[in-house]
Amino acid sequence: MSEASQQEAATEEDVYVLTDEFVRDVRDALDAEDEAAVSALIEPLHAADLADLVELVNRSERKALVDLIAPRLDPEMLSHLDEAVRDQVVDQLEPEQIAAAVTELDTDDAVYLVEDLDPETQRAVLDAVPEEDRTHLEESLEYEEDTAGRLMQRELISVPEFWTIGQTIDFMRESDDLPDEFYEIFVVDPVHRPVGTVALNRAMRTKRPVVVSEIMNADVKTVPVEMEQDDVAHLFRQYDLLSAPVVDGSGRVIGVIMVDDVVDVIDEEAEEDILRLGGVTDDDLNAGIVRTTRSRFTWLAVNLVTAIVASMVIGLFEGTIDQMVALAVLMPIVASMGGNAGTQTMTIAVRSLATHELTAANAWRLFNKETAVGLANGGLFALLVGVAAFVWFRDPMLSGVIAAAMVINMLAAGVAGIAVPLALERMNIDPAVASSVFVTTITDVIGFFAFLGLAALVLL
């Protein structure tokens, strides 16, 4: 590769990954109010990279950047923004600008853009959208959030099964209403129910006189319009789908879900589980201080209550601790080890439930496995902690007590880590939201009670 080509490739790579130096140059140009420099810097950016840039700069710089790009706004950029930032950007735009962006976007991206607008602004935007697009948007907005109805796009290609490949190709060439991207042609019966699919690459390799029904795949995986989006993601993952038709209650095709949207769902679901396990219900990286404080306060308050419960257990053995200070030194070891072990098991259980890998069919097997793992790790760490306690305090009885408490709490951690998420799932409560609080409380209470209780019986 020539030196010029290497420099060009390096430049393209730097722009693609939005290096710190590139972002700093943009921020400096914004601070200097040098619109020409900013425009030159952001001109080569892909819509997704421009969205990342908008998220990386601070609020005042973001306002200046959006003001600059608003007159020639790329609608695709809006669909890539995080919700909190998207709301800030949309607030800067006029309803006519939002409507122009909505008109150019696929239905699913357009819905994402308008779904959280205040009612007055949303109505103004919808009124400015062409009638056909407005009808599709209003129908999509009637479906529940996080369902296939919100996720689907209306633009698709469907043909009758008696058409030939030649007719299908001619139809696609002459139509002005094709989706921007598609991977499959849906074959439908006279009442528009899907009866098969034809991969686009197969259609292009087939001779014109061949009838569509002769080459179609009759095994169609359909998505009910009310299906939850995490179930849609499981369907795509399970059957390696690139797209799938969405059907209404009568089985008629009303839309299509594409794999790129499912990738976003999988990413969102995984991120949501991680955030909820940490007691955070929203992605607050780009949220304001008040919103972030409010979202975290509730679970911190719940944790305070559970901490008080654990402290009350310790209070029951106040006299025991007074007589042997070594107990106060050692008891956090038992509780923390149990909490960490419980968190490990709980994380596996919550994620497995989310991906449908853990069901009633294999729950008992996993329960037995985690119980055995808890017992095995309890025995190993009991040996390690027992030896450490003996070296530290030279008391064999104390070493035996902490070793026994370690086994009990690690076993309890394994049981709680799998039982709590399963129980919450059975009660239709999201395990990712509440599991960590219950598991931590159980391991703390059992750990303190086992260690201090055994100490009261054996040592005093």
Which residue carries 């009568």 as its tokens? 250
* Pick from 56-65, 86-95, 216-225, 282-291: least confident: 282-291
Strands (E), 408-456: none
Q: What is the pLDDT of residue 279?
A: 62
Nearby residues of 422 by Cβ (< 8 Å), 6 or more positions away: 349, 353, 358, 363, 367, 431
Q: Is 316 within a domain?
A: yes
Q: Is residue 258 part of a domain?
A: yes
In CATH, what number is assigned to the domain containing residue 35?
Answer: 1.25.60.10
φ, ψ of residue 431 in degrees (nearest 5):
-60, -30
Nearest in space to 424 (alpha carbons), one of 277, 237, 233: 277
Q: Is the pLDDT of residue 214 over 70?
A: yes
Does 309 lie in the same domain as 205? no
CATH number, domain at 362? 1.10.357.20
Domain boundary among 89, 110, 145: 145
Predicted confidence (pLDDT) at residue 12 exceeds the cutoff of 70: no
Per-residue confidence (pLDDT) for residue 9, from 0 to 100: 44
Residues 256, 340, single domain; the answer is no
Could you tell me if 235 and 215 lie in one domain? Answer: yes
In this structure, is residue 283 part of a structural domain?
no
- Do 263 and 354 fall within a single domain? no
- Domain hosting residue 211, numbered range: 158-277
Is the four-CA dihedral 142, 146, 147, 152 of positive or negative sign?
positive
- Nearest 5°: the CA angle 125, 130, 134 is 65
CA-CA distance, 356 to 353, in Å (whole number)?
5
Q: Is residue 282 one of the residues assigned to a domain?
A: no
Whether the pLDDT of residue 146 is over 80: the answer is yes
From 224, 207, 225, 223, select the one nearest 215 (Cα to Cα): 207
**pLDDT over 90 percentage in the chain:** 47
Is it the case that residue 211 has pLDDT exceeding 70? yes
State the chain's mean pLDDT as an integer.
87
Q: Give pLDDT tens digits for 21-48.
A: 999 999 999 999 999 999 999 998 999 9
Check pLDDT > 80 for residue 439: yes
Is 424 domain-assigned? yes
CATH number at residue 254: 3.10.580.10
| Residue 433 sits in the same domain as residue 348 | yes
Measured from the Cβ of residue 129, the count of other Cβ atoms closer than 10 Å reads 21
User: Of 221, 246, 277, which residue constitutes the final position of a domain?
Assistant: 277
- Asked whether residue 151 is domain-assigned, the answer is no
**183 and 130, same domain (yes or no):** no
The C-alpha atoms of residue 194 and residue 254 are separated, in whole angstroms, by 10
Greater confidence (70 vs 298) lies with 70
Number of independent structural domains in the chain: 3
Q: Which of 251, 277, 303 is the last residue of a domain?
A: 277
Of 107-121, 135-149, 219-233, 275-289, the poorest mean pLDDT is in 275-289
Q: Are residues 183 and 127 part of one domain?
A: no
Residues 229 and 89 in one domain: no
Residue 421 half-sphere exposure toward CB, CA atoms < 13 A: 31
Verify that 269 and 243 share a domain, yes or no: yes
How do residues 114-127 score in pLDDT, each as one tens digit?
888 888 888 988 99
301 and 235 housed in the same domain: no
Q: Are residues 86 and 129 in the same domain?
A: yes
Q: Please state, in angstroms and rounded to a whole number, the distance separating the CA atoms of residues 311 and 316.
A: 9
Q: pLDDT, tens digit, for every residue of 341-351?
A: 998 999 889 88
Q: Mention every residue, 6+ apart, whose C-beta is less than 8 A from residue 249.
A: 225
pTM over 0.85: no
Q: What is the pLDDT of residue 72?
A: 86
- Distance CA(228)–CA(271), nearest Å, equals 17
Lowest mean pLDDT among 265-279, 313-327, 406-420, 425-439: 265-279
User: What local confidence, expressed as pLDDT, does residue 313 receive?
Assistant: 84
Backbone angle region of 93, left / alpha / beta, with phi > 0 → left and psi within -120 to 50 → alpha? beta
pLDDT band at 95 (very low <50, low <70, confident <90, very high): confident
Residue 217 lies in a domain: yes
pLDDT bin (cut points 50, 70, 90) of residue 375 is very high
Q: Where do we find the tokens 């009124």?
A: 127
40-49, 203-212, 436-445 — which one is most confidently predicted on average?
Answer: 203-212
18/117 same-domain check: yes
Q: Which tens digits make up the pLDDT trace of 273-332? A: 776 666 665 555 566 677 777 767 776 777 778 778 888 888 888 877 777 888 888 888
* Residue 79 falls inside a structural domain: yes
Task: State the pLDDT at residue 3.
Answer: 45
Burial status of residue 174 (CB atoms within 10 A of its CB: 0-12, 13-18, 19 or more): exposed
The amino acid present at 70, given as its one-letter code, is A
Task: Tell me, letter by letter, the H, E, C secondary structure of 321-376.
Answer: HHHCHHHHHHHHHHHHHHHHHHHHHHHHHHHHHHCCCCCCCCHHHHHHHHHHHHHH
- Report yes or no: 213 and 167 within 8 Å, Cβ to Cβ: no
